C-alpha cells in the first residue's frame, strides 16, 4: 500500500524525519545563506528566548536582527538581540536563555508515552523538523557564553534553576 499524507506511521518515524532533516541542514553549512534560511525558525526561537528572558528580567531589548552577518573572516552571526540594561543580576540569565528550549524538548519527551502510538506522515515529518529546530535553538552561541562569563553570578543562578527544572521534568515520579 503506498504511503500518503493520511497514512498512519509508528511514532519512531518522528526520530527518522528529525535525523534526515538534521543531516540535510548540516550539509548546507557550506552555503551560509541557504543554511541560514533553512535554520531561520531555529534562529528566531533562539533570539526569542533571549528577548523574552530579557523582558522578564528588565534587561530592555533594544535591537534585534535575523539577518546573517559575517563576523571576522570565517564566522557568521545568524541573529542577535541587543539590550540596554544588562546588569550583574540579569546578564547571565539573558545570555543562557536559549537553554530553556531544552525544557520544552524534555516536556515533549515526558508526554510521549501519552501520545497515541501512530501519527499521520505529515505530522511525523512536521514534529521531526520542529524538534530539530528546537534542538538547534537550544545551543548558546560563542557570544552567549562570553556574556555568561561576564555575568557569571546570574549565569550560575540561571543554570541552577534550569538544572532543577530539568530534573523535575525527567526524574521518574515517586
Q: Residues of 45-84 as b/e, b for ≥16 C-beta within 10 angstroms?
A: bbbbbbbebbeebebebeeeeeebeeeeeeeebbbbbebe
**pLDDT tens-digit map of 56-106:** 999 999 999 998 888 888 788 889 999 999 999 999 999 999 999 999 888
In angstroms, rounded to a whole number, what is the distance separating the alpha carbons of residues 124 and 120?
Answer: 6
In angstroms, rounded to a whole number, what is the distance separating the alpha carbons of residues 155 and 164?
Answer: 14
pLDDT class of 153 with cuts at 50, 70, 90: very high
pLDDT class of 4 with cuts at 50, 70, 90: very low
Average pLDDT over residues 6-18: 66
**Rounded to two decimals, what is the model's pTM?**
0.82
Quick one: what percent of the chain has pLDDT higher than 90? 46
Amino acid at each position: 500500500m503506498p504511503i500518503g499524507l493520511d497514512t498512519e506511521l509508528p511514532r519512531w518515524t518522528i526520530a527518522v524525519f528529525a535525523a534526515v532533516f538534521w543531516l540535510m541542514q548540516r550539509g548546507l553549512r557550506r552555503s551560509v545563506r541557504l543554511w541560514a534560511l533553512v535554520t531561520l525558525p531555529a534562529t528566531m526561537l533562539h533570539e526569542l528566548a533571549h528577548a523574552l528572558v530579557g523582558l522578564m528580567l528588565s534587561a530592555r531589548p533594544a535591537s534585534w536582527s535575523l539577518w546573517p552577518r559575517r563576523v571576522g573572516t570565517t564566522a557568521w552571526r545568524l541573529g542577535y538581540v541587543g539590550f540596554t540594561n544588562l546588569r550583574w543580576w540579569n546578564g547571565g540569565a539573558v545570555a543562557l536563555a536559549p537553554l530553556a528550549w531544552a525544557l520544552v524538548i524534555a516536556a515533549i519527551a515526558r508526554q510521549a508515552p501519552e501520545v497515541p502510538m501512530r501519527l499521520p506522515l505529515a505530522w511525523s515529518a512536521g514534529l521531526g523538523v520542529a524538534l530539530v529546530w528546537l534542538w538547534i535553538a537550544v545551543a548558546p552561541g560563542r557570544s552567549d557564553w562570553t556574556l555568561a562569563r561576564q555575568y557569571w553570578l546570574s549565569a550560575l543562578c540561571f543554570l541552577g534553576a534550569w538544572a532543577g527544572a530539568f530534573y523535575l521534568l525527567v526524574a521518574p515520579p515517586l
